[in-house]
Amino acid sequence: MTARWLGVVALMVLTGCVANSPVVRAPAPVSAPVIHPPPPVVLVPKVEPAPSLPPPVAEPSPEPPLPEKPVLPATPASTLLVSVQAAVAAGKLDQGAALSERALRISPRDAQLWYQLALIRNRQNRLDDAAGAARRALSLAARDMGLLQQINDLLQELAAKAAAKLAK
Amino acid sequence: MTPRNSSAGRHPNSTGPTFSRHIPRFIWLLLVLAVLLVVYRCVWIDRKIRRDFDALQWELPARIYSRPVELYAGVHISPDDLVDYLQRLGYRRTAKVDRSGEYKVNGNHIALRTRGFQFWDGAEAEVYVELTFDGHHVSQVQDGKGTDLPLLRLEPVEIEQINPATGEDRMPVTLVDIPPTLIAAVVAIEDQRFYTHHGIDPIGIGRALWADIRAGGIVQGGSTLTQQLIKNLYLDKEQTLRRKIEEAVMALSLELHFSKDDILTAYFNEIFLGQDGNRAIHGFALASQYYFARPLNELRLDEMALLAGIGRGATYYNPLRYPERAVERRNVVLTRMHELGEITDKDYETAHKARLQVREKVVNRNGYPAFMQLVYDNLKREYNKDALRTKGLNIFTTLDVTMQSKMEERLDGAVARVEKSGHKNNPLEAAVVITDANTGEVRALAGGRKRGYSGFNRALHAVRPVGSLVKPAVYLTALETKNFTLASVLADQEIELKQPNGEVWRPQNYEREADGDVYFYDALQRSLNLATLDLGLKIGVDKVKATLTRLGYTGDAQPYPSLLLGAVDMSPLEVAQIYQTLASSGFRSPLRAVEAVTTADGQPLAFYSIETKQVADPAAVWLLEYALRGVFERGTAKSVTPLLRNHMPLAGKTGTTNDMRDSWFAGYGNDLVGVVWLGHDDNQETGLTGAAGALQVWANLMQAFDIEPRQVPAPESIKYDQVPVTPNHNTSQRDCSSTQSLPFLADAMPDVSISCEVNDSFFGRVIDRFKGVVK
């Protein structure tokens, strides 16, 4: 028993006698590495806290489906619009909005893109943002009568919601 | 009675054998106590190792990224700008593109393979792409099979970090992300028996000891990777026997409770591999980026061998400073790998001869202090300093690194060219804000004229009178009332105004002459002070101030008449906000520098989305813009039209303050809004008008940015009408012999006293022609 312990101790001593590294050794980093406890806090931003995407806000009446845009696969905007619609269909409204905004950076005068963003903001119950995007779509829609009608319908809906909110 | 000395007499005899009998027991007791202490210490260490290693988590810096480059047919980017961007990402130029992170240039074609990236709105896959350029535009984007690709996005450039207080930086990776060749190289050079020993390696220790004895000094290490990891994680530089023993116990404990893969992963993330200023480079993934500007999976054998080798002395073998030493050490690693059969003869030969290729372009880390101040301003509402320093957040910003770089290259020289001599000891300073004209995203920012200037950020904090930059708000207010049109005739005549303090104010035009009757649009494009006062006083200063606020002004200036001529203080950023609203046709989008924040593993945490709010009538803004385009065509910015002839039309406004203390220009095209301020920090005179100073700098920058012309289609409510070229208040003297076409709101056409259309009868035209001949 004693011999075994002495063996262990001898091994440790022997280990200690040998340098960890030869002559050339890097100087210590500015601060020594440390072991850290598990993260104490969960990071929650104030503005938009949810990494997980919130479900569509409950509405008094069923939401109309996002209108389909004619398929124009050759353009970046139409490609992204397909992704926007897929994200929205999957209930990923934040991602849909982010993709809409990516498309708008590429085609900032595309009324359809602003309208899509307005629809998503409406579903997220961000009424002011929805109204802003819808009005921007309206200013860019020119003579697209169908789109103009859709935008005006949305603006009416937003106005009604805003009035109802105010009444509460 | 017991004799007193009887026991005393016996004592010496009895003490001898008792003492000798107790000595071994005493020693045994001490030994047992010592063993118990050692065991206790070992158990304590064992528990600590288990607990700590289970919870092992590094403090990770927040990484700040630039705006990524989007590639699609028609996108505005030159081949040179794309190559510059690829080099910032550490892409390697090759004759043939085989791997991610490589590109090839062939005339107006560029082929590349992207790396893929996890953005806040989804993952961008790795893709091979061939681009064809037509001048400064991409004309075709295809994959390798000739199929058109609609859109792809390159990785963003990392522009800054917010480091933990420890100064440590690392990019943690899992074992599957580490190339097996790199693992083989590290094991070969540091710990050949890593997979067979139990934390400490007696054979290795013996070999090292023997080598040390033969050399008469310490020449070889006997530490296992496990021991090195322990030393990096826990221990300091102390070389005492006790430390060595504890290190051995810890290594044994670590091996007892955790797998070799766990230990190897921690080692690859923890090891110190270099020092970059006050930033310590830890782990192989970050070292790969630091030395080669590429991820681990793009490294060649020789580069992996080099990284494996420098762990022994990261400063001594620093390949950026001591390339020869680094190559020598690399070859030692290659030789060891070859001896162990880890690499073939051919691979060994190739790698052994390989030329050291460290990063080509110096990463401009911490090179954007002015822009970063805006980022912090945007972030500080949601994140505290601790979160930014330790959670490994990814922060995606709006900075266009190419644009910022071009601005910094030109700004100092452009300012020097307009700077008046005689200010040697008081140099002219500058601030620039460049934003996206449609979304309010800040693309570039300069807080001073020098590159990378990190002092007082004039773009954000130099709050100065804006002079005539305020005038568009006056004219927009008037247009929105529909009582005024572009053809309204204003009185540009001298005026005296009694101020609240009783003094009389006698404003003048810059030319110190009054022009009499002038058209509304002409008064704005020539920046006539007296005509602007005439207009502003008619509509009301308070209404003008309200318009300013709608457009983005946040201050609380008093609504005195002097406000109409720009006696209102703003920062260049605030001016940019106002002009961004005009460029967005009356929709205000708050300026911002951050797009989104994700967690260390790429999960979206916050979106800083595009907000837009209609604050002005788009048709009225369009009419205003007609006059602001005239500023370049006929007005105060005419001097730069030759330089910007390929970019016309553009819209903008000059601004000059009293005694030429501030020189301003704010203008925009379809894609960009730019604001330039020039002045002295001590408010001395610059000797520069807005046109002679800031406009010249603005034009220089916009030429470099290749600004898109301002071409916004007229709203449906806009109609054109003919009005006389010469304005006249007096209806009876209206001269329609020479007319011009101007745009109007359909429900605010020019007054019958002005329009030449309403008198467009044959008789009327004859009279007009006769008037013209007589004249």
pLDDT in tens, B581-640: 999 999 999 999 999 999 988 898 888 889 999 999 999 999 999 999 999 999 999 999
- CA B294 to CA B89: how far, in whole Å? 8
Same domain, B183 and B134: no
Residue A12 makes CB contacts below 8 A (sequence gap 6+) with B244, B245, B248, B249
**What gap in Å lies between CA B38 and CA A13, rounded to an integer?**
14
Q: What is the pLDDT of residue A59?
A: 38
pLDDT at B765 over 80: no
Same domain membership, residue B167 and residue B155: no
Query: Which of A73-82, B10-19, B230-239 reaches the highest mean pLDDT?
Result: A73-82
Same domain, B258 and B139: no
Position B26 in a domain: no
Kindly state whether residue A135 falls inside one of the protein's structural domains: yes
Identify which has the larger pLDDT, B351 or A67. Answer: B351
Q: How many Å apart are CA B441 and CA B573, to the nearest integer? A: 12
Give the pair of three-digit tokens for residue B210.
């023997």
Q: Is residue A50 part of a domain?
A: no
**If you average pLDDT over residues B412-424, what whole number do you get?**
83
Has residue A105 been placed in a domain?
yes
Q: Distance between CA atoms of B145 and B770, rounded to whole angstroms?
A: 72
Burial B649-661 (b: 16+ CB within 10 A, else e): bbbbbbbbbeebb
Bridge partners, B131 (sequence order): B110, B141
Count Cβ–Cβ pairs < 8 Å, chain A vs chain B.
Answer: 229
Residue B20: pLDDT band (50, 70, 90) is low
Mean of all residue pLDDT scores within chain A: 70
Cα–chain center distance at B132: 28
**Region of B72 on the Ramachandran plot (φ > 0 left; ψ -120 to 50 alpha; else beta):** beta
Residue B492 lies in a domain: yes
Report yes or no on A12 lying in a domain.
no
Residue B646: predicted pLDDT: 93
What pLDDT digit, counting tens, does each position of B165-224 carry? 777 788 888 888 899 999 999 999 888 888 888 888 888 778 777 877 776 765 566 788
Per-residue exposure over B520-536, b if at least 16 CB sit within 10 Å of its own CB, e if not: bbbbbbbbbbbbbbbbb
Confidence of residue A48 (pLDDT cuts 50, 70, 90): very low
Q: Six-digit token pair at A146?
A: 């169908």
Those of residues 351-410 in B touching chain A at CB distance below 8 A are: 381-383, 387, 391, 393
B562 part of the active site: no
Measure A63 CA to nearest chain B CA, in Å. Answer: 23
**Could you say which residues from 113 to 132 on chain A have a Cβ atom under 8 Å away from some Cβ of chain B?**
117, 128-129, 132
pLDDT at B10: 46
Identify the pLDDT of residue B364.
57
Q: Specify the pLDDT at position A129.
A: 95
Domain count, chain A: 1
pLDDT tens digits, B71-99: 999 999 999 999 999 999 989 899 999 88
pLDDT-derived band of residue A29, with 50, 70 and 90 as boundaries?
A: very low
Assess whether B183 and B316 both reside in one domain.
yes
Give the residue from B333, B353, B373 where a domain finishes: B353
pLDDT of residue B761: 55
- Going by DSSP bridges, is the β-strand pair B516-519/B168-170 parallel, antiparallel, or unpaired? unpaired
pLDDT, mean of residues B91-116? 93
Backbone torsions φ then ψ of B169, nearest 5 degrees: -130, 140
* B466 and B586 both lie in a single domain: yes
Which range, of A34-38, A102-106, B397-401, B707-711, averages the lowest pLDDT?
A: A34-38
Domains in chain B, number: 4
Q: Which residues of B touch A103 (CB under 8 A)?
A: none
**Residues B180 and B102 both lie in one domain:** no
pLDDT digits (tens, 9 = 90+) for A81-121: 889 999 999 999 999 999 999 999 999 999 999 999 999 99
- The whole-chain average pLDDT of chain B stands at 86
Taking residues B549-578, what's their average pLDDT? 94
- Name beta bridge partners: B489: B519
The answer to which of B209-213, B424-428, B514-518, B660-664 has the lowest mean pLDDT is B209-213
* pLDDT at A37 (0 to 100): 35
Strand stretches in chain A, DSSP E: none
pLDDT at A66: 52
The set of residues, in sequence order, having a beta carbon less than 8 Å from that of A40 and lying 6+ positions away, is none
B727 pLDDT more than 90: no
**Which domain CATH number covers A160?**
1.25.40.10
Residue B190 designated active-site: yes
Q: Does A168 touch chain B (CB under 8 A)?
A: no
Residue B112 has pLDDT above 90, yes or no: yes
Whether B13 shows a pLDDT value over 80: the answer reads no
Do the Cβ atoms of B312 and A22 come within 8 Å? yes
Range of the domain at A133: 76-167
Cβ atoms < 10 Å from Cβ of B680: 15
Residues B743 and B681 in one domain: no
**How far is B101 from B92, CA to CA, in rounded Å?**
6
Residues B121 and B168 in one domain: no
Closest chain B residue to the Cα of A19, Cα to Cα = B221
Q: Is the pLDDT of residue A149 over 70?
A: yes
Per-residue pLDDT band at B367 (split at 50, 70, 90): confident
Q: Does residue A38 have a pLDDT over 70? A: no
Establish if A41 belongs to a structural domain. no
- B221 and B140: one domain? no
Stretch B429-445: mean pLDDT? 96
- State the average pLDDT over residues B728-757: 80
The conformation of residue A91, written as its DSSP 8-state character, comes to T
Cβ-defined contact of B610 to A29 (cutoff 8 Å): no
Choose the closest CB to A18 out of B209, B382, B441: B209
Q: Are residues B91 and B120 in the same domain?
A: yes
Mean pLDDT of B748-752: 79
Classify residue B31: in a domain, yes or no.
no
- Residue B546, pLDDT score: 96
**Does some domain include residue B175?**
yes
Query: What does the pLDDT read at residue A99?
Result: 94
| Residue B418 near residue B427 (C-beta atoms within 8 A) | no
pLDDT value at B753 more than 90: no
Integer-rounded Cα Rg, in Å, for chain B is 38
Report yes or no on A11 lying in a domain.
Answer: no
Higher pLDDT, B50 or B273: B273
Which H, E and C letters describe B584-599, residue by residue? CCCEECCCECEEEEEC
Q: Is B152 on the interface with A (CB under 8 A)?
A: no
Using an 8 Å CB-CB cutoff, list chain B residues near A49: 606
The A residues from 51 to 110 touching B (CB cutoff 8 Å) are 51, 73-76, 78-80, 83, 94-95, 97-99, 101-102, 104-106, 108-109
CA neighbor of B479 nearest in space, from B709, B718, B666, B723: B718
With respect to residue B220, please indicate whether it lies within any of the assigned structural domains: yes
Provide the residue range defining the domain that includes B752: 718-774
8 Å CB contact of B248 and A99: no
Q: From CA B394, how far away is CA A51, in angstroms rounded?
A: 13
Domain boundary among B645, B672, B705: B705
Q: What was the pLDDT predicted at B16?
A: 55
Tell me whether A7 touches chain B (CB under 8 Å): no
Of the residues B109, B128, B161, which one is the last residue of a structural domain? Answer: B161
Smallest Cα distance from A58 to chain B, Å: 22
B233-247, B282-296, B692-706, B733-747: lowest mean pLDDT where? B233-247
Q: If you ran DSSP here, which 8-state letter would residue B456 be given?
A: S
Residues of B in contact with A88 (CB under 8 A): none
Pairing of strands B279-282, B168-170: parallel
Question: Which of A154-158, B35-39, B40-44, B168-172: highest mean pLDDT?
Answer: A154-158
Catalytic residue among B468, B488, B527, B585: B468
The answer to whether the CB atoms of B234 and A35 lie below 8 A apart is yes
Q: How far is B11 from chain A (nearest CA, A)?
A: 35
Instruction: Name beta bridge partners: B604.
Output: B598
Inter-chain residue contact B239 with A19, CB threshold 8 Å: yes
Burial class (CB in 10 A: 0-12, 13-18, 19+), B637: buried
**Tokens found for residue A29:** 């980093």
pLDDT at res. B9: 43
pLDDT band at B770 (very low <50, low <70, confident <90, very high): low
Same domain, B330 and B441: no
pLDDT value, residue B709? 95
| CB of B587 less than 8 A from some CB of A | yes
Please indicate, yes or no, whether residues B127 and B192 belong to a single structural domain of this protein. no
* Spatial distance between the Cα atoms of B273 and A118, rounded to a whole number of angstroms: 50
Q: What DSSP letter does each residue of B91-128 carry, written as one string?
A: -EE-SS--STTEEEEETTEEEEE---EEETTEEEPP-E
Tell whether A40 lies on the interface with B, counting CB pairs under 8 A.
no
What is residue B139's predicted lDDT score, i.e. its pLDDT?
Answer: 94
Measured distance CA(B660)–CA(B684) in Å, rounded: 9
Can you give the pLDDT at residue B737? 80
Residue of B nearest to A109 (CA): B438
Q: Is residue A37 domain-resident? A: no
Question: Nearest-CA distance from B388 to chain A in Å?
Answer: 10
- B512 pLDDT band (50/70/90 cuts)? confident
What is the residue type of B22? H
pLDDT confidence tier of residue B391, bands split at 50, 70 and 90: confident
- Whose CA is closest to B398, among B420, B426, B379, B422? B379
Q: Mean pLDDT, to the nearest integer, of B671-700?
A: 93
CB < 8 Å from A in window 480-509 of B: none
pLDDT of residue B699: 97
Q: Per residue, what are the HEC states of B419-431?
A: CCCCCCCCCCEEE
Of A122-131, B3-12, B278-287, B522-531, the range with the lowest mean pLDDT is B3-12
Higher-confidence position of A142 and B398? B398
